[in-house]
Amino acid sequence: MATATTKRWKTKHGYLYIQDDECKGCGFCIEFCPKEVLEESDTFNAKGYYPPRPKDPEACVNCTFCELICPDFAIWSEKEEAAEPEEAEANG
């Protein structure tokens, strides 16, 4: 949520966002990402879980599957339409 620290990676056509401290380590996003973009971090978060991180952000196609299936609202993606990244972030 807005109070958590967010990491952002540039993907081919947008961005991938992860809020480490929201993650509860279920592993759904890592397992089912169709492009196998994600892996487990090697550092754990405040709750003791290992959040995901993108091995290769450029491989992410912003399909939003991780975003939809994540039970903890810890990961989402943003496809660049025509908006500038700063504008998109302000609107998101």
Length of the chain, please? 92
Cβ–Cβ under 8 Å, residues 40 and 52: yes
Residue 71 or 87: which CB sits closer to other proteins? Answer: 71
Give the Cα separation of 89 and 7 in Å (integer). 13
Residue 2 or 82: which CB sits closer to other proteins? Answer: 2
Q: Burial-class residue 29 by CB neighbours within 10 Å (0-12, 13-18, 19+).
A: buried
Considering the complex, what minimum distance in angstroms separates the CB of residue 84 from other proteins?
15
Considering the complex, what minimum distance in angstroms separates the CB of residue 81 from other proteins?
14
Considering the complex, what minimum distance in angstroms separates the CB of residue 3 from other proteins?
7
Residues that bind other proteins (CB under 8 A): 1-3, 5-9, 17-19, 22, 24-28, 31-32, 36, 39, 41, 49, 53-55, 57, 65, 67-73, 76, 78, 89, 92
Indicate if the alpha-carbon torsion angle 33, 39, 43, 49 is positive or negative.
positive
